[in-house]
Structure 1
Amino acid sequence: MTRLFSAYVIVDWSAAAKPATGADSVWIGVLKRDVRFRMSFESHNPATRQEAEKVLATVLDDLKKRGERALLGFDFPLGFPRGFADALKLTGDPPWRAVWDQVDKMVKDKADNTNNRFGVGSELNRRITGGPFPFWGCPPKDALTTLQPKRTRAHGPGDLPEFRHTDLAAKGAASIWKLYYNGSVGGQALLGIPAIKRLKAARGEAVRVWPFETGFKALNEADLEGVEAVVAEVYPSLLKIKAAPGEVKDLVQVRETAEHFARLDEAGKLAEQFGPAADMDPAVVVDAEREEGWILGAGR
């Protein structure tokens, strides 16, 4: 039984607007083999997203030199609910890539972590509905006509869905439309997607984003020929992780998530996690592959 990966890199992203370390900042967990070929864990806690990108580049360069393939998991959505690209009248195909290009064009994220995510959410709202919907959540001082601190209304028929298929399958995942407050994965996605796009641009076809570029299917060695890293969306809350007193929860989450996927891989059970559950509606598979993405392990 051969493993698909020899290293597992899990990133707990942050949308912080100033440099930060400790709880609620960026944590990068790396589980890889040491000089004696035993699995060993190391963590990094860069103060800014720019520093985090540099750390990730260094980690991936090191693994490439060693000829080791990595699973690279990020804890924010890699895609938006179905219909988002259409609502923005984006013409590129596939929809996920058109959205990535659009978000990358709009987001400004500076070296000191100051960023324009609320302005981006406001502008996307203006283009989609002309009002403060579907994105919501910001400090009162950042409120605009097209972005409000609190949710202004529920999603109804004819609106973009509040959740992706995978958010519902994961039970408890937050909506990407939420840009601020606890669990605001929307802000993380707006700032994280451009970072992954840059990482991919630097490495070309050697980095593949699942399920968009690999297909929503169980992966095998032949699928990953020449691939140095597979980027996937992860959701540590699926694992019911508890930090011991005095431990930073984010650090524990990246460590235990990396160890979880390593154990599955060792047992020959990780490959199937990249495919849909047997009873999944084929239309959901298409949505996941073309625009929404999927959380690794959700609904299985």
Structure 2
Amino acid sequence: MPRLFDAYVIVDWSAAEGRKTGADSVWIGVMKRDVRFRLSYEAHNPATRAEAEALLRSLLADFRRRGEKVLVGFDFCLGFPEGTAARLSLEGEPWAQTWKFLGQNVVDKADNANNRFQVAAKMNRLMTDEARPFWGAPARQAQRWLSTTKPESLGDIPEYRRCELATRKLGAKSMAKSVWQMHGAGAVGGQSLVGVAVVRRLVEELGPACAVWPFGTGWKALTPADVAPLSVVVAEVYPVLQPTAAEPGEVKDATQVRGAAEAFAKLDDADRLGALFAPPAGTSEADVAVVQREEGWILGA
């Protein structure tokens, strides 16, 4: 039975400032097959995003040298709600131009010091000239264009992408957070800003050997023929969708990356992974177009 991938790398990102390991830090889970196709797993917990980026670059280079195909899942938003690029006056393919904007504006130093709150404030200024849609900052980071608390209204800007709304079936506690939330429990905004800048560099370095789903692949089921020309497929993941029991002493982040990597590998073994890349039944052509061009989707949502 042909599999889509030889390895599955799941990345739980962090916007932490200062070196940090353990809970609420970067975790990278790697599930791969040996020469007998037996699965083995290894976990990495780099102390900084710079170390994580270097490790990912090394891992992907090793897989590529061996001619192996890799699914790389990032647990943060790879896209933004419909209309974000237009509000930023960006011309061209919305997702790619938003990534370019972040690549040009995000500063993330080797010691984890970063300017994510300043970038969020700049985007607010350009999009609305008010403290929205991004919200949530420590008091020391608050300013005219970024508040500590959620505004009463985001105006006509969607709070959620279509994929976050799709996770409502899990219940309110498990619904994926809005990318606009920068601070507080479960906030993913800061991780997304610093994370997209890293992913963009890795994708550009890999060139045509890499595709970002669904932007570069189309929002459709993937087959071995689709993956054949590639070394790496990048996707957005939400490990809550693959619930996993913790091992003794294992922190939640480590459990989640292990569980997601194992789940995708098993689905691939059963020839069921490719179907996860397709839209849910009944998705309109208009929604497909928005997801492919700007919002992206969570694998398995």
TM-score (norm 1): 0.96
2:263 maps to 1:268:
no
Q: What is residue 165 of structure 1 aligned with on the other side?
A: 162
Q: CA shift at 1:226, angstroms?
A: 2.2
Q: Secondary structure at the match of 1:227?
A: coil
Letter in structure 2 aligned against 1:265:
D
Q: 1:148 corresponds to which letter in structure 2? A: S
Q: Does the 8 Å contact 1:117/1:191 carry over to 2?
A: yes
1:192 is matched with: 195
CA–CA distance in structure 1, aligned partners of residues 233 and 247 of structure 2: 31
1:133-152 aligned at under 5 Å gives the runs 133-152=132-151
Q: Is the 8 A contact 1:207 1:228 kept in 2?
A: yes
Residue deviations 1:9-40, cap 9 Å, x none? 00000000111000000000000123554210
Question: Does structure 1 conserve the Cα–Cα contact (< 8 Å) formed by 2:77 and 2:188?
Answer: yes
How far apart are the structure 1 equivalents of 2:109 and 2:125?
A: 24
Aligned to 1:257, the other structure's residue is in SS state helix
The amino acid that maps onto 2:131 is P
Instruction: Write the letter of the residue equivalent to 2:81.
Output: P
**What amino acid is the match of 1:88?**
L
Name the CA distance, whole Å, in 2 between partners of 1:238 and 1:278. 18
Q: Distance in 2 between matches of 1:240 and 1:219?
A: 24
Is this contact kept in 1: 2:29–2:42, CA < 8 A? yes
Alpha-carbon separation, structure 2, partners of 1:181 and 1:144: 17
1:52 is aligned to 52
- Alpha-carbon separation, structure 2, partners of 1:219 and 1:21: 35
State the identity %.
Answer: 53
Count of aligned pairs: 295
Q: Secondary structure of 2:31's match? A: strand
Structure 1: which 5+ residue stretches go unaligned? none
What residue number does 2:110 align with? 111
Q: Is the 8 A contact 1:81 1:291 kept in 2?
A: yes
Contact 1:242 1:249 in 2 (8 A): no
Q: What is residue 73 of structure 1 aligned with on the other side?
A: 73
Partner of residue 171, structure 2: none
Deviation, 1:240, is 2.8
Amino acid at match of 2:163: T
Q: What CA distance in whole angstroms lies between the structure 2 residues aligned with 1:183 and 1:125?
A: 21
- Measured after TM superposition, the shift of residue 7 of structure 1 is 0.3
- RMSD after superposition: 1.1
Q: Give SS of 1:72's match.
A: strand
1:114: how far off? 0.3
**CA-CA distance at 1:184 after TM superposition:** 1.4
- Equivalent-residue separation in structure 2 for 1:129 and 1:47 (angstroms): 36
Pairing partner for 2:280 from 233, 257, 277: 277
> Take 1:131 and 1:166, find their aligned partners in 2: how far apart are those partners?
26
Offset of residue 202 of structure 1: 1.3
Q: Could you tell me how far 1:3 is from its partner in structure 2?
A: 0.5
The aligned amino acid for 1:150 is T
Q: Which residue matches 2:172?
A: none
Q: CA deviation at 1:243?
A: 2.3
TM-score normalised per structure 2:
0.95
Determine if contact 2:243/2:256 at 8 Å carries over to the other structure.
Answer: no
Q: Give 1:131 deviation, angstroms.
A: 1.0
- The 8 Å contact of residues 243 and 259 in structure 2, kept in 1 or not, is answered as no
Deviations 1:118-163 (A, max 9, x none): 000001101111111000111101110110111122334xx21000
Structure 2 spans left out of the alignment, 5+ residues:
169-174
Residue 286 to residue 124, structure 1, CA distance change in 2 (3 Å): same
Aligned to 1:256, which of 242, 259, 273? Answer: 259
